[in-house]
Amino acid sequence: MSVDTSEVRRIAHLSRLAMNDDQARDFAGGLSDIFAFVEQLDGAAIEGVEPMAHPLDAEQRLRPDAVTEPDRRDAYQAIAPAVEGGLYLVPRVIE
């Protein structure tokens, strides 16, 4: 399967990756190769096979409902690009 630049742009947008035309062209080539390679899966004998999401056949463990995390806002926000009054700042979101 081959991927064209407009498809690359669509995926890049969905992935929130800025991309100029040259980059889109480059990625189109690489992605086309990868999808062509992955097409080998089409020949697999998988009739009636259960998809395998996890290597181990285990069940979810449950945590008791208890507060265990202290307030460490200062430490967490020391590494934030932009904070004010304890809030993370982003360019204005229009709703």
Partner 1 sequence: MAQETLSGWVRKLQAREISSRELTQLYLDRIERLDPQLNSFITVTAEQALAQADAADARLAQGEQTPLLGVPIAQKDIFCTEGVRTSCGSRMLDPFVSPYNATVVERMNAAGAVMLGKTNMDEFAMGSSNETSFYGPVRNPWDTERVPGGSSGGSAAAVGARLVPGATGTDTGGSIRQPAAFCGITGLKPTYGRVSRYGMIAFASSLDQGGPMAATAEDCGRMLNAMAGFDERDSTSVERPAEDFTAGLNQDLKGLRIGLPTEFFGEAGLDERVRGVIDAAIEVLKGRGAEVREVGLPNSHLSVPAYYVVAPAECSSNLARFDGVRYGYRCENPEDLMDLYTRSRGEGFGDEVKRRIMVGTYVLSAGYYDAYYLKAQKVRRIIADDFRRAFADVDVLLAPTTPELPFALGAKADPVSMYLSDIYTIAANLAGLPAMSLPAGEIDGLPVGLQLIGNYFDEARLLGVAHQYQQETDWHTRVPAAFA
Partner 2 sequence: MEWETVIGLEIHAQLNTVSKIFSGAPTAYGAEPNRQACPVDLGMPGVLPVLNQGAVERAVMLGLAINAEITPRSVFARKNYFYPDLPKGYQISQFELPIVGLGHLDIELEDGTTKRIGVTRAHLEEDAGKSLHEGFEAMTGIDLNRAGTPLIEIVSEPELRSAKEAVAYMKKLHSLVRYLDICDGNMQEGSFRCDANVSIRPKGQTEFGTRAELKNLNSFRFVERAINFEVERQIDVIEGGGTVVQETRLYDPDRDETRSMRSKEEANDYRYFPDPDLLPLVVDSAFIETVREKLPELPDAKRARFVEQYGLSDYDAGVLTATREMGDFYEAVAAGCDAPKLAANWVMGEFSAALNRSEVELGEAPVNAEGLAGLLARIQDETISGKIAKEVFEAMWNGEGDADAVIEAKGLKQITDTGAIDAIIDEVMASNPKQLEQYRGGKDKLFGFFVGQVMKATQGKANPAQVNERLKAKLDG
Tokens of 87: 């809030």
Tokens of 8: 């690359």
42 binds partner 2 (CB under 8 A): no
Query: Given the rule CB under 8 A, which of 1-9, 25-33, 35-43, 86-94 is the region that contacts partner 2?
Result: 86-94
Tokens of 7: 């498809």
Q: Return the number of the residue (51 or 85) whose C-beta is nearest partner 1.
A: 51
Query: Given the rule CB under 8 A, which of 17-25, 27-35, 37-45, 56-64 is the region that contacts partner 2?
Result: 56-64
Interface pattern 32-71 for partner 1 (x via CB under 8 A): -xxx-xxxxxx-xxx--xxxxxxxx-x-xx-x--------
- Cβ pair 90, 80 in contact under 8 A: no
∠ CA 86-93-8, nearest 5°, is 115
- Cβ pair 1, 32 in contact under 8 A: yes
Chain CA centroid to CA 48, Å: 29
Give, as ranges, the residues between 7 and 36 that touch partner 2 (CB under 8 A).
14, 16
Q: Return the number of the residue (37 or 61) whose C-beta is nearest partner 2.
A: 61
